[in-house]
Amino acid sequence: MDGAVMAVSCSPTHTFTKPKQESIRLLTGLGVEGDAHLGETVKHRSRVARDPSQPNLRQVHLIHSELHDELQASGFTVSAGQMGENITTRGVDLLRLPTGTRLHLGNTAIIEVTGLRNPCTQLDGLQPGLMAAVLDRDEHGALIRKAGIMAIVLTDGEVRPGDPITVELPPEPHHPLKPV
């Protein structure tokens, strides 16, 4: 289940789209250096309004490039960083990872998966209908969120396109991802 980093993105301001970079630096317990969501406590504006002292479980946002492929096949024009992700991956089924999975990125960086990204209506500002396109229903009618996952940084490191991703599953029992 190992994969690769396809792109890395970062924005110092709370813009929805994050420009692609040659590399990003992950900082232990904080997130992506220079990114608006960097910090020990939550930085997402709606969450800050509710309780600014909450721990930041959304330090790094990852989206699988297979989602971009799926969206493009449905007529959307999306590329790395446009949906606000810091790291675009390929070859790792991000949405099926259990909570607590560790992803080793490149030579030294390690992140721990905290949960699913809950897509927001800002996606429709990027392209009408995009919000609905990243939501689905399973055979029992339960909502499936496809807009990526969130993680915290356990170990510093530089991350670049082309870097390998090694998946380290947590001890059993595994717990499915929930929105964070």
pLDDT tens digit sequence for 121-153: 889 999 999 999 999 999 999 999 999 999 999
Q: How far apart are the first and last CA of the chain?
A: 24
* CA trace torsion 126, 34, 57, 111 (10° rounding): 110
Which 8-state DSSP code applies to residue 173? Answer: S
Query: What confidence tens digit (pLDDT) does each residue in 3-16 have?
Result: 999 999 999 998 88
Query: What confidence tens digit (pLDDT) does each residue in 10-45 have?
Result: 999 988 899 999 999 999 999 999 999 999 998 877
**CA 70 – CA 143 distance, rounded (Å):** 18
Residue 48 confidence (pLDDT): 77
Confidence of residue 51 (pLDDT cuts 50, 70, 90): confident
Residue 121 confidence (pLDDT): 86
Confidence of residue 52 (pLDDT cuts 50, 70, 90): confident
Buried b (16+ CB within 10 A) or exposed e, 118-139: ebeeebeebbeebbebbeeeee
Confidence of residue 46 (pLDDT cuts 50, 70, 90): confident
61 Cβ contact list (under 8 Å, min separation 6)? 37, 84, 85, 86, 87, 117, 148, 149, 150, 151
Confidence of residue 1 (pLDDT cuts 50, 70, 90): low
Q: Would you identify the CATH topology of the domain 3-168? A: M1 Pyruvate Kinase; Domain 3 (2.40.33)
Q: How far is CA 57 from CA 23, 39, 167, in A?
A: 22, 10, 19
Two tokens, residue 158: 């530089």
Q: How many CB atoms lie within 10 A of CB 140?
A: 5
pTM of the model as a whole: 0.96
Q: 95 — phi, psi (to 5°)?
A: -70, -20
102-105 and 109-116: which strand pairing?
antiparallel
Query: What confidence tens digit (pLDDT) does each residue in 59-114 have?
Result: 999 999 999 999 999 999 999 999 999 999 999 999 999 999 999 999 999 999 99
Cβ atoms of residues 99 and 178 within 8 Å: yes
- pLDDT of residue 2 exceeding 90, the answer is no
